[in-house]
Each structure stands twice: as C-alpha cells, then as structure tokens.
Chains A and B, each alone.
Chain A
Amino acid sequence: MCCSNSIERDKATMGKPKAFDISAVKGMKFFDPHVHMTSRTTDDYQAMADAGVVALIEPAFWLGQPRTGLDSFRDYYSSLIGWERFRSSQFGIKHYCTIGLNSREANNEALAEQVMEILPLFIYKEGVVGIGEIGFDDQTAAEEKYYRQQLELAKEAGLPVQVHTPHRDKKKGTQRSMDIALEHGLDPYQIIIDHNNEETVKEVLDRGFFAAFTIYPFTKMGNERMVEIVKQYGSERIMVNSAADWGISDPLAVPKTAALMKLKGISDAAIELVTYRNAITAFAQSGQIDEADFTAPKNIDQTEKFEGNTILRGGQQPRTDKSSIIIS
C-alpha cells in the first residue's frame, strides 16, 4: 500500500534508469507470494507470464475504499477464490490466495465482528494457502484483538499466516506481531512476516520466522538494497514479492529482482530460493500447493477445463498486438 509522496523527492531517489533485460533470467520460474491482482490489468498478467511468473498468492487486503457491509467482504473473498483465480488461469499463472481481515478495516469493530463469522467458511476452500494479510496498521486495540482471533483461527486450521507489518513505527510493530504470534503458540516456521527491511530482518530470521521483502518503489524496499540483504543474510527463509496493488508498484518486481541478483553475482541456487522455492516451502504447509500445477503445464488438472471457454485456447488468452491501430 502506498502513501502520498513528493514527486520531486521520488524523482531524486529513482537514480539512472537501467533497461530490464529478461534474458538474464530466461527460463527461470518465479513465484510472487504477495500481489493484489484484483487491482491490476490483464496487460500485467501477460507481462508477468512472459517474465516467467508461474504462480502467485493474492492476500486479502484493503481495497482503498473502506467497505461498509458484510456482503462487500463476502464478494471480495469470493472473487479471490473465484473470478480472479480464473482470470489468472487464462494467462497460465496459478493463482492462490490468503484470506483474512486486514488491519485497517479491523478498526470498524461492528463490521469486523461479522467478518470474523464468515471467515471459517472461506479458509478451508481450495487454494487458500493461509490467513492473510493480517497484523498491525495503526497498532490499535481493535487491530490487536482481531489479529489474535485470526491467529487462533490459523492454529485451528493448521494454516500459515501472512503478517502485514506497519509502515509507521515498523520495528516495534514487527516485534509486537511476532511476540503475539508466539504467545498464541504458533510455530514461527508457519508465519511469514512481510514488508521487512534492513532494520527488521535480523530479528525475524533469528526468531525462526520467514522474512518476506516487498520490492515496491519509493515506500518499501528497492531491489538494489535487496541484493545487499541476500549477500548479508543468505537465502534461507527469505522471499521477495511485489505487493503490486492500486498504488505505483511493479508486478514484475520479482523477476526484475532476480535479474538484478544475477547481474550482481548472486548464485542461481540462491536466486531460486528467494524468488521461488522459499515461498512454496512456506505456504505449501497449507497442503494446498501442488507444484505440478504450475511446473508441468501439460499435466492438466481434470477437474478444471479452460479450453472449453470461447476466449481460451489451451488455457491461454489470445494475444493482441498492442502496437496495431486495428482492433478486430
């Protein structure tokens, strides 16, 4: 999620543009474990597929416009496991999601109570690989209350938890998120602490949690900094994501970061771990990820047929030539 920025300041931090050369990571597969495709276009799906993204996780989050009723939440969760998953499949990308009540809207307690009641109906659905993204935003009492309740839900269902850490007062918020999770008896190996930076990563790893890094322009991590983190902390339990959403963000953040790591001399094995394997290891603890679904495209799941749809050929959307003035 982004916030307001000074354009001049942003420009100053951008540095000199450097072309993204996909050939550096050609043939590699990527898994983006945090991206809000609901807020993105089909062009993004196409670009992600072209760049090697084979699977992704879409966490339930704040849509920008606060919801005023339960049905809006219900429809949003339904679209994550229904329509958006289908849309993604049209581009050959396997779509998973995490379901939860986000921290911001946890502050609307009357509504939050109702949302908590319908969550159990969604978390056991196919392809739901965790509870998320939950945690702290303003670090209010209400946020803590529903964070705790959802941790209990995750414990009962045996699901991983995707924890959003706050923009403001990040270090303390991150510590507090971990303390509370441990207090509820969860295994840190089942918890992915998201949006880390140089200040938080050491403690997260030392305490046995997974550490996710969001490569997001201006407000979160840049990928040059990310390369340094992998150099310093290695590749164990570290993963990168784009968290691309309705803000100025980049759905190609994962393949771009992989390409940059390659150029900066990080080993292929380490790149594979932080841009693909570790995310699968963490979220497959849900029992809902079958790697064959996205590594063997010819191995068609007989329970799902896409080629029957008029606009789909072999699970793919026909490509249009965007440079042509003719639309037919």
Chain B
Amino acid sequence: MAISDGFGNINELLLNIIKDNLEDAAFEWLIKAGSANEIDKLGQSFVMLPRKTGKPALRISEVQKKQLEESGISYLTSWSIDRLSRVWLLGVQSFADTEKSHPVIENLFLSAEVNEAVALYSALPFLAKPETWVKRCAEGIRSNIGSVLEAIMENNPYPAKYLNEAAWNQLVLKAFFTEKDINKINGLDGRANEQLALTLSDYARERYAAGRQINPQLWRLVAPFINDQIFEAIKIGLTNQDKEEHNAIALAISASDYEPAKVYISQIPELSQLSK
C-alpha cells in the first residue's frame, strides 16, 4: 500500500509530531499555509517555511516512534522539522486540490535549492496520485547532488513501487556508482531483474579493468540471473584480492541454479563451503 492510500491517518500522525516540535506561532502559520484557501500561496509558503519553523532535528516520543513504525515510515525520525513540515504541507495541499497543486509543485522542482529538493523528493510517496510523479522521480536520479540522491534512493518507498524497470535500474546502478547505503534502498531484492544483473556485472568488469574495488552487495542482485556472460565477470572477481568480495560471490553462486559456476567454485577450497 502506498502511504498516500492511507494519507488521512498518516496526516494526523505527522501533524501530531510537527505540533510537538514547533512554537505555537510557527505551528499556526503552518496550519494556515495548509488550509484550503491558501493553495495559491503554496509555492511561496513551501519556500519560506524554514524561516518560520527553523531547522532543528525532530524530537519524537516513544509512542510516536511506535506509530511511525506501524505506518512503515519510521525512517523520518532522522529528519529535521522543516523537512517534515514541507512534506506535510505538500501532502495536504496535494490532496486538497490535486489538479491545482500539481503545476505548483512541478514548478517548485524546477527552482529547488538542495534542502527544497530533498523535501520534494521525500514527499513523493505522500502526494495524491503518486503515479503522476514517475517522470519527475526519474529525473531526480540524474542529479549529482549527494543529499538529493539519498532522498530518492534511501528509505524512500516511492521508487520501488512506481518506477518502470529502466528508471529503477538506473537508480540502483547510480546508487552503486555514488556509494550510497545499498541496504537502505526500499524493495531492492523484490525488484531484482535480469537486465539489472547484466548491467551490474558489466559495471563490475569495468571496475576490475580499472583496478578499482566494487561493493560486494552487487552480487546479491546478480545471484538469481547468473549465466555465461555473468560467469565471466565472476571469474575475474575471484582473481582479485578482496576476500569479502570472494565471499559475496560464493553466496551469490549458492543462490543460483547455474551449474558451471557451482562446479568452478567447488574447486576453491576456502569458498566451497560458502557456496553450498
């Protein structure tokens, strides 16, 4: 289920957290900015929001933490107050008038500074009709700014649910390229696919050729799709000196049905156990 499917309940929870983190005057300003007759000023409100809320890290109670976990969005405990307030504001106005808010939000993407872009991409799963933002999300993956990429790639349920295969593969490949925390990519294993596996094994070969290391997590996505072509990359990987990578390759082979690789690795004593 997308977060936006149950936005009513989530909205209440977010607002509850926001209230605990804001002075009365700032909270009142935000409520007003989120009211139906203020939708014309959504752009300006979004932009000037940190001037009203400040930017401290969120303080979240144990009860709220539990509620966030139950809603599957406990990742936002590490956010700052302006980021959460911006996401809430976009969500609430997007549901109030989807048609009217859409071009305003689109315009905000066009002129966003870094923190704004982070908030905008973080808001994607909270917007009405989330499927209308697929192109925008794919465009965001082309950013070269670390924190913007993190907002899209890490702890964001949107990409796995909505991106097409090409855009998803681009996201994963770029996450490896830019050394993101692969474990934080939502839905990673569920969206493993052959094309991605081939691309990643090519990428591994390029890295080997340049004498560079690779993130061994790559092999986890390759495992179900090992074939002749990928086997070639594996053989090169096993000749380098990185023990951690040898182990990752052995685990990948154990998860695959590709017989030649199983035979090959059974001849390497220190890895033969792992690959069983």
Q: What is the interface of chain A, defined by CB distance below 8 A to chain B?
A: 74, 77-78, 81-83, 85-86, 118, 120-122, 124-127, 287, 301-310, 312
Contacts and interface: CB of A to CB of B under 8 A. Distances in A.
Nearest to B212: A328
A124 B51 contact: yes
B25 interface: no
A116 to B, nearest CB: 15
Contacts of A125: 47, 113, 116
Size category of the B interface is 20 to 34
A83 B48 CA distance: 19
A120 B50 CA distance: 16
B163 to A, nearest CB: 20
Contact of B147 (A74, A122, A124, A304): A304
B245 interface: no
A303 B179 contact: no
Dominant secondary structure at the A interface:
loop
B82 to A, nearest CB: 7
Contacts of B110: 74, 78
B92 interface: no
Contacts, number: 78
B146 A85 contact: no
B153 to A, nearest CB: 9
A321 B191 CA distance: 42
A81 B51 CA distance: 16
B82 A78 contact: no
Q: Which 10 pairs across A and B sit closest by C-beta, in order of nearness?
A: A309-B146, A81-B113, A124-B48, A310-B178, A308-B146, A310-B179, A303-B80, A78-B111, A305-B147, A86-B145
Given A120-B44, A302-B57, A309-B178, A127 B113 contact: yes
A122 B111 contact: yes
A285 to B, nearest CB: 13
Contacts of A305: 146-147, 150
A260 to B, nearest CB: 36
20 contacts: A74-B111, A78-B112, A78-B113, A82-B114, A85-B114, A120-B44, A124-B44, A125-B116, A126-B113, A127-B113, A302-B78, A303-B80, A303-B118, A304-B115, A304-B147, A306-B147, A308-B147, A308-B150, A310-B146, A312-B146
